[in-house]
Amino acid sequence: FHNVFARCLYAPHNSSILSNNMSIPAGTRIGPYECLELIGKGGMGEVYRARDTKLKRDVALKVLPAAFARDPERMARFQREAELLAALNHPNIAAIYGVEERALVMEFVEGESPKGPMPFDEAWKIALQIAAALEYAHEKGIMHRDLKQANIKVTPEGNVKLLDFGLAKAFAGQQAAPA
């Protein structure tokens, strides 16, 4: 997610929008999603804030570049991220809503990554929520493997959300349990 997730996609009839340079202009519609703005870039693609025109809510779209879509290893990693996220249902983990071709449709999380220094009480509240999310994921047999400031958002209400399970892995010998 590297600053939230996802870009707009689902456009077999409009795949020129999803070229290698990736930037999608604001207002572009991909399936039921209208791209609003680029909100992040990372090793696995770009993340866009988009509007779900069917459900009238903002979502995050994490989209792979076309070159990655031709790489079986990267597509397997992308598919694994979707499957692992789908196995998790926790208030401190950003939810996945679906997959569209080479895009993950994710919960859009308003907020900022935590920045220090901060008062102990504030840091403690954030740390407890991160620990609860990681404990839950571990109980489901999933290890995040990329926990860093950019993959954590704190909402204006003080709720923490873990993002970007792109490097997540199921524990050896275990399958992710359904949420």
Q: State the Cα–Cα distance between residues 17 and 50, nearest whole angstrom.
A: 15
Query: Would you give the DSSP letter of residue 18?
Result: G
Q: Which of 173, 139, 4, 166 is nearest to 83 (CA)?
A: 166
Q: Which of 5, 151, 154, 175 is nearest to 78 (CA)?
A: 5
Amino acid identity of residue 19, one-letter, is: S
Task: Give catalytic status of residue 146 as yes or no.
Answer: yes
Query: Which of 58, 71, 121, 146 is the catalytic position?
Result: 146
Residues classed as catalytic: 146
